[in-house]
Amino acid sequence: MLSQQENELLTRIGRHMPMGELMRRYWIPALLAEEIPTPDCAPVRVRLLGEDLVAFRDSQGRVGLLGEHCTHRGTSLFFGRNEACGLRCIYHGWKYDIAGHVLETPAEPAGSDFKNKLRHIAYPCSEVAGIIFTYMGAPEKRPLMPRYEWCDLAPEQVYPVKAYLQCNYLQGIEGDFDSSHTSFLHNNNLANAERLKRDGAPILEAEETAYGMRAISIRKAGAERIYVRTSPYIMPSFSIVPGPPTEKFDDDDIRGFRFWVPIDDQTTWLYILNMRKKPFSVEEQKSLRAWLEPDYRRVRNAANNYLQDRQRQKTSSYTGIATMNPAEQDGCATESMGAICDRTQEHLGYSDKTIIALRKLLLAAVRVVQDGGEPPHVVRTSQDADFSRLRSIKGVLPTGSDWHKVMEGMGPNDA
């Protein structure tokens, strides 16, 4: 349980709010590259951290992320003309480049230098693995972008999607560090009654790391074996969750890197960057987004009660919510808490150990920012930027194993 003040501190992400300031110290996803696929294509609206923005791709293919409302008198640049390396407002023709320079003010007298005194809101962008990242903090505090393994994968080895969530980002990411829910919410085979007995109440650990935190869960897996999962939390609100148990690390597995990005206090984009060594086929790409509408809303959502099937709930699935992606069941659990969960009313138990650790980490980070300091795990040197070995690990081991040690031999780890 949190105090009202702590809950506010962690969930309010507007500019000038402490968590809003913290989020603005890191590179975060702003949109998918596919939303603005070609030079001079139509701009799109982007709402991010409570700010209304417009993204466009200029004639040279460079991405701009500008304040939505024209510096002149506020007309939306969403309706603008994307032409000749700039976005031009349709009201009086003011034209902006990707850096927010006012290039032209054609309704002003010839020779006017008015435009040189102005600068429009513009955030720097970096396009990696089909996602356009941005940095929305003070320019002098801009950090390096970490180098994850997916930064070096070929376009056909990555497939990002995003999903709209009608609740605060923290509810979403807390689900990634709540290992025990997987045995219930994601149990799609009620016939396997042994499963709950075996792994409904895992042993949990949390360790602070160079990038944020790592949550560990350890379950029984038969008489003499344990099943270990690790889930990294990467500042400010990213995670990697493991897939189903396998005996060994397998490069053919699809792995998902997850970014929980606040649209505003009450809504969130979940970006899932699917990645794999083997290229994704077009059919696989289709199935990875089959749970989403073209506008990235989920087919199963609050408005249709997640298409819950009560008969199915009696006979085969814990939730009765069919799933093409576990995020559909997660969405029901987290959205139904309310737009901003009232954490003063919770009753946390042992199974919430890693969530408590996550909140502590975030509260400490927010307080550093409030005191004028640099938040943790902001990347400043190219050496620190190497996140390429960061993985979520899962594996079945003999009971009593030193899992830290054994896992190192099973595949790349994040030590």
Site of interaction with ligand FES (CB under 6 A):
70, 72-75, 89, 91-94
CB of 92 or CB of 367, closer to ligand FES: 92
* Binding partner of 296, given Fe ion, ligand FES, none, CB within 5-8 angstroms per partner class: none
Supply the minimum distance, in Å, between the C-beta of residue 76 and Fe ion.
Answer: 37
335 touches Fe ion (CB under 5 A):
no
CB of 107 or CB of 307, closer to ligand FES: 107
HSE-CB of 314 using CA atoms within 13 angstroms: 2
Instruction: Decide: helix, strand or coil at residue 135.
Output: strand
* CA separation for the pair 68, 405 (Å, rounded): 51
CB of 72 or CB of 300, closer to ligand FES: 72
* CA separation for the pair 159, 288 (Å, rounded): 8
CB of 55 or CB of 158, closer to ligand FES: 55
CB of 291 within 8 A of CB of 306? no
Supply the minimum distance, in Å, between the C-beta of residue 41 and ligand FES.
Answer: 21
CB of 95 or CB of 359, closer to ligand FES: 95
Could you tell me whether strands 147-148 and 386-387 are parallel, antiparallel, or unpaired per DSSP bridges?
parallel
* Binding partner of 119, given ligand FES, Fe ion, none, CB within 5-8 angstroms per partner class: none
Supply the minimum distance, in Å, between the C-beta of residue 381 and Fe ion.
Answer: 35
330 touches Fe ion (CB under 5 A):
yes
174 touches Fe ion (CB under 5 A):
no
* Amino acid making up residue 187: N
Size of the chain, expressed as the number of residues it contains: 415
CB of 80 or CB of 395, closer to ligand FES: 80
* Binding partner of 70, given Fe ion, ligand FES, none, CB within 5-8 angstroms per partner class: ligand FES
Closest Cα partner for 172 from 266, 268, 241? 268
Closest Cα partner for 24 from 219, 325, 261? 261
* Binding partner of 124, given Fe ion, ligand FES, none, CB within 5-8 angstroms per partner class: none
Q: 37: cis peptide before it, omega within 30°?
A: no
DSSP for 303-343, written as a single string = GGGGG--HHHHHHT-SS----SSHHHHHHHHHHTT-SS--G
* Binding partner of 330, given Fe ion, ligand FES, none, CB within 5-8 angstroms per partner class: Fe ion
Stretch that binds Fe ion, among 216-224, 320-328, 335-343, 385-393 (CB under 5 A): 320-328
Supply the minimum distance, in Å, between the C-beta of residue 112 and ligand FES.
Answer: 14
Q: What stretches of 26-168 show up as alpha helix (H) in DSSP?
A: none
* Binding partner of 73, given ligand FES, Fe ion, none, CB within 5-8 angstroms per partner class: ligand FES
Could you tell me whether strands 122-123 and 102-104 are parallel, antiparallel, or unpaired per DSSP bridges?
unpaired
Burial class (CB in 10 A: 0-12, 13-18, 19+), 136: buried
Burial class (CB in 10 A: 0-12, 13-18, 19+), 200: middle
CB of 174 or CB of 330, closer to Fe ion: 330
* Binding partner of 89, given ligand FES, Fe ion, none, CB within 5-8 angstroms per partner class: ligand FES
- Residue 94 tokens, joined: 């003011």
DSSP annotation of 144 reads P
CB of 184 or CB of 296, closer to Fe ion: 184
| Cβ contacts of 360 within 8 Å, gap of 6 or more | none
* Binding partner of 48, given ligand FES, Fe ion, none, CB within 5-8 angstroms per partner class: none
* Amino acid making up residue 263: I
- Binding-site size for Fe ion (CB under 5 A) equals 2
Tracing tokens 């969930």 back to the chain, one arrives at: 11
CB of 138 or CB of 254, closer to Fe ion: 254
Q: What residues are paired with 159 via a beta bridge?
A: 274
> Within 52-71, which residues bind Fe ion (CB under 5 A)?
none
* Binding partner of 336, given ligand FES, Fe ion, none, CB within 5-8 angstroms per partner class: none
Contact string (CB under 5 A) for Fe ion, positions 34-53, x = contact: --------------------
The residues of the shown chain that bind Fe ion, judged by CB under 5 A, are: 326, 330
